[in-house]
C-alpha cells in the first residue's frame, strides 16, 4: 500500500502574534510508513502536530488527509477521520483507572445514545461488554492487563506512556501521531518502544512521530523530515539525514571541529 | 482465602447497602410518621436535585451555580399548567422535564465555552434573572413575589395521592429511579465522556469527543432531572414562589456536591442529608443551619478537598 500519500501538508504556516512558528512547510506521509519529524528544541515540531490534529488553526496552507481537506477543522472532526495522537506531556484522565482511560479511545466506534446509557438498555449493555472485551485485548497486547484497575496517573512514567498509546491504538487509527514517545523512558523501555512502533506499522497503521531519542528515530523510521525555525531543512531516509550537512549544523552548530561528533551523535 | 472471602462479602455489603437503606426508608411513614414523613419527602426531592447538580458539576466539571433555575422551571411549569390550565399533575410532569431540559440547554449553549469561574458567574446571572422574572409576574402567569398557590396533588389510577405518606412514596420511588440512572451513567459512554471532559478536555477532543455537544448535554440532562424534582416540590408545598429558587439555593446545591463528594452517589446523598435532614433533628438549632454547614464547608475543603465520601476508584 505504500506510495499513496495519507497525510499531505502544503505550504503550511502559523503565526502567534509576531512569531512565525511554522513557515511554508510542505511534506507528506505515505501510507504504511513510519515518518519522523525532527529538529532542535523550539523548531516547531509540536506546533505542526497541533495543526494537523486541529488543536491550532494554521494561518496559511492546506492540510489534507486521505485527500480530504482538514485544514483548521476541530480536533474531534480530525479524530473522526482516523487520526489519533499522544502528547509530549502525557495527558491521561486523572483519577480514572487504566481501563477507563483506554475505553476513551473507543468513543468514536461506540454507537449507544445518551438515553440508552441512562436506561441501560439491553443493546447498550451488550455494547459495553464488547467495548470492555476489546479494551482488555488492547491492554493485553501492550502488557497492561495487570494494572487495568489502577489509577492511571499513579503509575510510573513509562507505563503511563503505554496507557496513552493503548488509548489511541484501541481506536484503530489510520494515522498515529506520537509526540516524543520515548521521552522519559529508560534504555530498556525505549528499545521495547522501537519494537512496539514497528508492530503498530506492521498492523497497518501509518505513524508520524516527533522524537529526540536518535536511537528510536534512526532505527524505526522509513523517512525523516527535519525542520528548524519552522522551516523544512532536509527530508529523506535516515541514512541520508545522518549525513546531511544542514541537519548536522542545525543540531550542533557550525564549528568544523564538531562535525565528526555530530555525525556520531546522530548515528547513536 | 479468608481475606478473599472477606473482601467479597465487603463488596456485597457495599452493593447491598444502597437498596437496603432505600427499603428501610419505605417504613418511615409507618414507623416514624408525623413530621418525619415530610422531612424525608423533602430529602428525596432535594437528593434528586443534588444528584442532577452532580452531573453538571461533579461529573462534567462545570461550575454551575444556577442549578436552582431548572428546579424552579419544573416547579413553575407544573404549578402554572395545574392551577391556570387545570392540567392533572402527572400530565404536567413530562412538560416540566422537557421545558427545564430545553431551557437548561439553551442557557448553556452560549456559555459552555467559558472556563471555570467565568461560567460560574454567568450561571449566577441566569439565576438572578430567573428569580426577578418570576417575581415580576411574567406574562401574568407566575404570580409575582408571592408565587402560585393551590397546586393540586397527583392522581394515580383514579386515586388522589393527597396524604403526606402517599406523596412520600412517590418521591421515594422517583429517587430510586434517579439513583438507578446515576448508576447506569457510570457504565455508559455519556457518563464516562462527562468525566473525560472534566479531567482533560483537550485529550478528550483528540479522541473524537465533541466537547460542546456533551457539555450542553450535561446541562440538559441535569436540568431535566432537576425539572422532574421541581414538579414534586410544587406538589409537596402545594405552591411555588421565587424564594425557593434564589441564588443561595444554588449555592447550597453546589456545596452539597463539593462537601459530599463529587461524582460520588453516596457522597451527594450524605451531603443532602446533612443539609436537609440533620437540621430537622436539631430543631432548636435550625437557625444555625447555614452557620454549621458553612463551617463544615470550610473544614471539608481544607481537610478533605475530595469531599466527605469521595468517589471510589474506577471499575477494574
- How many residues are there in chain A? 268
Alpha-carbon distances of B99 from A174, B114, B233, B263, rounded to whole Å = 43, 24, 16, 25
pLDDT (tens digit per residue) in A94-122: 989 999 999 999 999 999 999 999 999 99
Give the chain A residue nearest B214 (alpha carbons). Answer: A114
> What integer pLDDT is reported at residue A263 of this predicted model?
47
Residue A136 grid cell? 482488555
The reported pTM is 0.92
Residues from chain A that touch B316, judged by Cβ atoms under 8 A, are: 97, 99, 148-149
Helix (H, G, I), strand (E, B) or coil at B162: coil
Q: Is A122 on the interface with B (CB under 8 A)?
A: no
Residue A67 grid cell? 485527500
> What integer pLDDT is reported at residue A106 of this predicted model?
96
Residues from chain B that touch A74, judged by Cβ atoms under 8 A, are: 205, 210
The Cα B52–Cα B34 span in angstroms is 29
Provide the pLDDT confidence category of residue A256 given band limits of 50, 70 and 90: low
Q: Lowest-confidence range among A89-93, A133-137, A168-172, B158-162?
A: B158-162
Q: Which of B187, B190, B208 shows the shortest C-beta gap to A79?
A: B208
Q: Which of B189, B191, B200 shows the shortest C-beta gap to A91?
A: B200
Q: Is A143 on the interface with B (CB under 8 A)?
A: no
Q: Is A138 on the interface with B (CB under 8 A)?
A: no
Q: Taking residues A12-37, what's their average pLDDT?
A: 94
Provide the pLDDT confidence category of residue A249 given band limits of 50, 70 and 90: confident
The Cα A260–Cα A252 span in angstroms is 10
CB proximity under 8 Å: A 87-116 to B:
87, 91-97, 99-100, 103-105, 107-108, 110, 112, 114, 116
Closest Cα partner for A98 from A45, A151, A48, A135? Answer: A151
Max CA separation in chain B (angstroms): 70
- The rounded percent of chain A whose pLDDT value lies above 90 is 76
> What integer pLDDT is reported at residue A49 of this predicted model?
95
Structural domains of chain A in order of their starting residue, each with its CATH number: 1-82+174-268 (3.40.50.300), 93-172 (no CATH)
> What integer pLDDT is reported at residue A258 of this predicted model?
46
pLDDT above 50 for A265:
no
Q: Which residue has the higher pLDDT, A187 or A91?
A: A91
ipTM score: 0.90
Smallest CA–CA distance, residue A125 to chain B, in Å, is 8
Mutation target vs A (from B184, B207, B216; most A CBs, 10 A cutoff):
B207
The Cα A140–Cα A154 span in angstroms is 19
Yes or no, beta carbons of A116 and B315 under 8 Å apart: no
Residue A249 grid cell? 549544523
> What integer pLDDT is reported at residue A1 of this predicted model?
42
Element (H, E) at B51: helix B35-54
Yes or no, beta carbons of A107 and B209 under 8 Å apart: yes
What are the φ/ψ torsions at residue A38 (nearest 5 degrees)? -125, 170
The Cα B194–Cα B214 span in angstroms is 7
Q: Is A162 on the interface with B (CB under 8 A)?
A: no
Give the chain A residue nearest B179 (alpha carbons). Answer: A118
CB proximity under 8 Å: B 165-204 to A:
180-181, 184-185, 187-193, 195-196, 199-200, 202-204
Mutation target vs B (from A77, A82, A85, A100; most B CBs, 10 A cutoff):
A100
> What integer pLDDT is reported at residue B3 of this predicted model?
67
pLDDT in tens, chain B (316 residues): 566 777 777 777 777 888 888 998 888 888 887 888 999 999 999 999 999 999 999 999 999 999 999 999 999 999 999 999 999 999 999 999 999 999 999 999 999 999 889 999 999 999 999 999 999 988 889 999 999 999 999 998 888 998 999 999 999 999 999 999 999 999 999 999 999 999 999 999 999 999 999 999 999 999 999 999 999 999 999 999 999 999 999 999 999 999 999 999 999 999 999 888 887 777 777 677 778 778 888 898 899 888 888 887 544 3
The Cα B46–Cα B33 span in angstroms is 20
Give the chain A residue nearest B184 (alpha carbons). Answer: A118
Q: Which of B185, B203, B208 shows the shortest C-beta gap to A118?
A: B185
> What integer pLDDT is reported at residue A72 of this predicted model?
92
> What integer pLDDT is reported at residue A261 of this predicted model?
47
Mutation target vs B (from A114, A122, A153, A175; most B CBs, 10 A cutoff):
A114
The Cα B252–Cα B265 span in angstroms is 17
C-beta atoms surrounding A81 within 10 Å: 17
CA torsion through residues B89, B94, B97, B100, sign: negative
Mutation target vs A (from B220, B224, B314, B315; most A CBs, 10 A cutoff):
B314
pLDDT above 50 for A268:
no
Residue B240 grid cell? 411555588
pLDDT above 70 for A3:
no
Amino acid at each position: 500500500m505504500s506510495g499513496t500519500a495519507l497525510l499531505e501538508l502544503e505550504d503550511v504556516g502559523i503565526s502567534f502574534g509576531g512569531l512565525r512558528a511554522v513557515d511554508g512547510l510542505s511534506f507528506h506521509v505515505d501510507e504504511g510508513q513510519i515518518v519522523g519529524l525532527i529538529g532542535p528544541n523550539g523548531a516547531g515540531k509540536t506546533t505542526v502536530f497541533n495543526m494537523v490534529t486541529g488543536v491550532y488553526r494554521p494561518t496559511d496552507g492546506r492540510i489534507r488527509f486521505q485527500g480530504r481537506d482538514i485544514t483548521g477543522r476541530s480536533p474531534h472532526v480530525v479524530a473522526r477521520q482516523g487520526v489519533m495522537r499522544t502528547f509530549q506531556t502525557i495527558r491521561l484522565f486523572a483519577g480514572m483507572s487504566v481501563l477507563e482511560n483506554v475505553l476513551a479511545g473507543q468513543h468514536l466506534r461506540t454507537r449507544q445514545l445518551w438515553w440508552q446509557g441512562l436506561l441501560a438498555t439491553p443493546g447498550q449493555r451488550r455494547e459495553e461488554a464488547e467495548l470492555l472485551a476489546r479494551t482488555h485485548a488492547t491492554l493485553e497486547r501492550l502488557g497492561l492487563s495487570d494494572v487495568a484497575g489502577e489509577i492511571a496517573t499513579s503509575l510510573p512514567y513509562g507505563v503511563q506512556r503505554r496507557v496513552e498509546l493503548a488509548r489511541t491504538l484501541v481506536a484503530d487509527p489510520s494515522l498515529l501521531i506520537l509526540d516524543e514517545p520515548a521521552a522519559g523512558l529508560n534504555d530498556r523501555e525505549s528499545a521495547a518502544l522501537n519494537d512496539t512502533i514497528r508492530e503498530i506499522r506492521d498492523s497497518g497503521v501509518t505513524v508520524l512521530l516527533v522524537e529526540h531519542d536518535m536511537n528510536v528515530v534512526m532505527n524505526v523510521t522509513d523517512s525523516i523530515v527535519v525542520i528548524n525555525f519552522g522551516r523544512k531543512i532536509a527530508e529523506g531516509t535516515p541514512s541520508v539525514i545522518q549525513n546531511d550537512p544542514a541537519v548536522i549544523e542545525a543540531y550542533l552548530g557550525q564549528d568544523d571541529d564538531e562535525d565528526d561528533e555530530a555525525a556520531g551523535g546522530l548515528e547513536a | 482465602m479468608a481475606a478473599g472471602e472477606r473482601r467479597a462479602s465487603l463488596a456485597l455489603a457495599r452493593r447491598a447497602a444502597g437498596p437496603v437503606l432505600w427499603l428501610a426508608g419505605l417504613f418511615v411513614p409507618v414507623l416514624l410518621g408525623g413530621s418525619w414523613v415530610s422531612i424525608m419527602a423533602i430529602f428525596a426531592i432535594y437528593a434528586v436535585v443534588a444528584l442532577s447538580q452532580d452531573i453538571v458539576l461533579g461529573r462534567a466539571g462545570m461550575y454551575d451555580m444556577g442549578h436552582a433555575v431548572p428546579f424552579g422551571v419544573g416547579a413553575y411549569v407544573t404549578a402554572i399548567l395545574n392551577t391556570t390550565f387545570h392540567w392533572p399533575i402527572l400530565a404536567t410532569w413530562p412538560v416540566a422535564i422537557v421545558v427545564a431540559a430545553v431551557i437548561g440547554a439553551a442557557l448553556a449553549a452560549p456559555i459552555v465555552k467559558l472556563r471555570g469561574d467565568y461560567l460560574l458567574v454567568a450561571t449566577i446571572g441566569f439565576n438572578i434573572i430567573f428569580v426577578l422574572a418570576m417575581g415580576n409576574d411574567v406574562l401574568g402567569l407566575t404570580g409575582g413575589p408571592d408565587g402560585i398557590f393551590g397546586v393540586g396533588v397527583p392522581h394515580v389510577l383514579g386515586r388522589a395521592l393527597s396524604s403526606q405518606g402517599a406523596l412520600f412514596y412517590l418521591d421515594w420511588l422517583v429517587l430510586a429511579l434517579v439513583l438507578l440512572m446515576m448508576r447506569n451513567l457510570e457504565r455508559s459512554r455519556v457518563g464516562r465522556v462527562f468525566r473525560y471532559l472534566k479531567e482533560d478536555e483537550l485529550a478528550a477532543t483528540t479522541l473524537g469527543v465533541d466537547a460542546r455537544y456533551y457539555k450542553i448535554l450535561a446541562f440538559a440532562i441535569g436540568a431535566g432531572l432537576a425539572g422532574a424534582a421541581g414538579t414534586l416540590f410544587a406538589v409537596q408545598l402545594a405552591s411555588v414562589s421565587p424564594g425557593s429558587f434564589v441564588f443561595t439555593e444554588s449555592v447550597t446545591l453546589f456545596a452539597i456536591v463539593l462537601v459530599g463528594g463529587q461524582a460520588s452517589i453516596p457522597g451527594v446523598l450524605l451531603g443532602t442529608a446533612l443539609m436537609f435532614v440533620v437540621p430537622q433533628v436539631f430543631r432548636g438549632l435550625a437557625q444555625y443551619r447555614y452557620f454549621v454547614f458553612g463551617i463544615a464547608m470550610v473544614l471539608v475543603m481544607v481537610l478533605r478537598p475530595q469531599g466527605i465520601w469521595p468517589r471510589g476508584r474506577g471499575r477494574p
